[in-house]
Each structure stands twice: as C-alpha cells, then as structure tokens.
Amino acid sequence: MEIKKQNKFSTFFKRFGAYIVGGAIIVMVVVTATVVGVLSNRKTSPVITNNPLVFCSPIANATVIKDYNDKKLQHNQTLNKWETHYSVDLTGEDPTVVSVLDGEVLDVYYKYMLGNVVEIKHSDGFVSIYSSLDKNIDVQKGDQVQKGQKIGTISNSAASEAGYGNHLDFTLLQDGKEVDPNNYISLQNK
C-alpha cells in the first residue's frame, strides 16, 4: 500500500482553516467598527477665518505730498538731497491724526529730524509711526488706543521735512521692516 505524501500546508489548512478564516473576519469587523466609531465621534476642527486687518487712514481725506518708494530716489526739497523714502507724507484740511488700528502706544518722543513722534504696536507684527506731530500729543507711552482714535495733529516739527509745511510723516513696519502703507491703506486724493 502506498502512502500518499500530503503537503504539510494543505494538511494544516484543512485542520485549522476554518479558524483562520473566522479569526480574520472577526479582526476585520473589529477594525472596521473601531475606525467608523472613531470617525463618527471625532470632533470637527473649528473653522479658522483669516480676518485681514482693516486699516484706516491716519488723516481723513488725506492728500499725499510725498509717497513711499524703496526703489527710486526722491528729492527732499528741505535737505536738497536725493533719498529713498520709506514713509508717506500726508496732509489734509483736517489736521487730526488718528491711529490706523487698535494697539498700544510703544513710545512718544521728540527727535530733531523727525519732530514729535508716536509709535503704536498693533497685531500681526505691525508698528505704525507718526512723525512731524504737533507738540500737544493726545496719548502717552503704554496707552491702549482704538482704530480711529485721535493721537495728535499734523505740524512741521520734523526738521528734515520742514519745507513741506504742516504734514504727517507716516511709516508702517511689519516685523521690524518698513512696508509700503499703500498696500494696507487707501490713501485718498493721491
């Protein structure tokens, strides 16, 4: 009598195959139920809105005397020299100067070439600098200010631009670097 050699694998599968298939089905059902449960109980992430900052003009109905330009030299008629201009010089019928955004007054000081100056720190790394203000300034260091709140009035206190008459020299910084205010503020009568 001849004994047939059987494959060990098929012998094993005949003996335990039903258990293996049943176990695999149970594992798949448990994994599927777990994934579905986790997904259905998962809280949705809050919707994040990028509310862009909305600046207001530092002077109502402003007229630009000298615009920002970091590429071309501009003539400074007071100093009679050519220079880059990292700010915008503004004037208007109403001499009132207001904060362009909510913020905290970082400093109030006087420098001969800049005149009376107010620096205000805002969110997103912005700092607004108001130069050539009258000596009667309405805020002091540490004050919290609101967008549109009066901080002073224009004058010709900046010796470097006295030839322009009463005006505001407005500089805007983001993360410590000068940026073009025209990218954030609609400066009227330009």
Q: Which two tokens stand for residue 41?
A: 């109980």
Query: What's the pLDDT band for 47 if we cut at 50, 70, 90?
Result: very low
Q: Give the mean pLDDT of 165-182.
A: 93
Enumerate the domain spans of the chain: 63-183
Query: pTM of this prediction?
Result: 0.70
Separation between Cα atoms, residue 135 and residue 151, nearest integer Å? 11
Alpha carbon distances (Å) from 109 to 95, 132, 134 = 19, 11, 11
Q: Please say if the pLDDT value at position 40 is more than 70.
A: no
Q: What is the pLDDT of residue 38?
A: 64
Tell me, which fold does domain 63-183 have in CATH?
Answer: Glucose Permease (Domain IIA) (2.70.70)
